[in-house]
Chain A
């Protein structure tokens, strides 16, 4: 039993294509796959080598250039997924725009709000749990000097007693407010 069509055209049947056209389409799809694989490997390599290429800030977060690179590559991958795999590139113009335009407008608005109004978070920060801050500083130092991730274990033994016990008293109550 086919769908209720009234006098609508049967769009489902219009999508059929022949074997030769199918060969060309398949080759294009595999090309897109190789592009996606290449971009992902490039992203992973950049992420791996970011610190040795000087793309990180002092506190080991990504700096502006690295953010632009990653977001740019991601939007490139998204473009390929939406236009090639989801076949949005083959749809009519009105269909393309009715999907992309509201989404783009909303996302740009959301990003603008984050950039514009996010000062509130910086201004109204709760006091941090001292142990967490101390550990993060030690992790950053260890990573800068090239130690592995086991550095956390050695630092805990001597860092535990002195820094944390006086922080324990006043950090205890405000730290509770941090758990939200």
Chain B
């Protein structure tokens, strides 16, 4: 298997076969194209959210009023825990890219170290998201008056605490629906990313990539992990800030 130099200036020969015109291996190219398609899925969801949100601007709940709790703290700090979740995910992105960099030097010990930190960061994020969901579903102590059909099938007007798919104390049901769908879909991506990272981590421990001679698999799952962080940056802005 020869490894000849690729000439950057002679662009016509890029497309004559014998090498990748994109200058990357097949696996990396596939991961990039998959990420473009997944990014479009999330963009569609966020556009749908924006559409619904501006359809009902006078009653849309302000996320700074809804997401105010922090673990082990009894008061109300708007968006503090979400900010912490963003920080955790960015940190896990940094540890991931450091694992990739260590892989480029075939430094197996460092790859193991940084991958472990990445997995821990991802697991912390998923746990935090689950905590947010729990508090969102259970609701506040005072709840709010709502018109709804209760569990006996009777149409009532009473104080409702928490949120489900048909009625919630924060405002419109569609706000809760979008919250669950967007953060749930993103959280599912984070969760699957953590699982994939664990599989790759086990492979690193087993020496698969030492035998292979390169750590490109770390780079490929790193792309997926950074994509998850990228989506969170946009979800954080459009859902919680704007």
Contacts and interface: CB of A to CB of B under 8 A. Distances in A.
A70 B242 contact: yes
B51 interface: yes
Given A37-B90, A103-B40, A81 B226 contact: yes
Contact of A11 (B20, B62, B144, B240): B20
Contacts of A111: 47
Given A11-B23, A40-B83, A149-B76, A16 B104 contact: yes
B3 A15 contact: no
Q: How large is the interface on B (under 10, 10 to 19, 20 to 34, 35 or more residues)?
A: 35 or more
B68 interface: yes
B179 to A, nearest CB: 15
A44 B240 CA distance: 10
Given A29-B94, A78-B234, A95-B32, A128 B56 contact: yes
Interface in B1-53: 1-4, 6, 8, 14, 18-25, 28-29, 32-33, 35-36, 39-40, 43-44, 47, 50-51
Interface stretch (B123-131, B187-195, B213-221): B213-221
Given A22-B101, A29-B98, A81 B36 contact: no
A22 B143 CA distance: 55
Interface in B89-136: 90-91, 93-94, 96-98, 100-102, 104-106
Contacts of B68: 149
A171 B156 CA distance: 12
Nearest to B146: A131
B151 interface: no
A94 interface: yes
A125 B100 CA distance: 51
Interface in A73-96: 73-74, 77-78, 81-82, 84-87, 91-92, 94-95
Contacts of A74: 233-234, 237
Contacts of A18: 105
A168 B154 CA distance: 14
Interface of B: 1-4, 6, 8, 14, 18-25, 28-29, 32-33, 35-36, 39-40, 43-44, 47, 50-51, 54-62, 64-65, 68, 76, 78-79, 83, 86-87, 90-91, 93-94, 96-98, 100-102, 104-106, 140-147, 155, 157, 159, 166-167, 171-174, 212-214, 216, 219, 222-223, 226-227, 229-230, 233-234, 237, 240-242
Closest 5 CB pairs of A and B: A153-B142, A121-B55, A92-B23, A12-B214, A12-B216
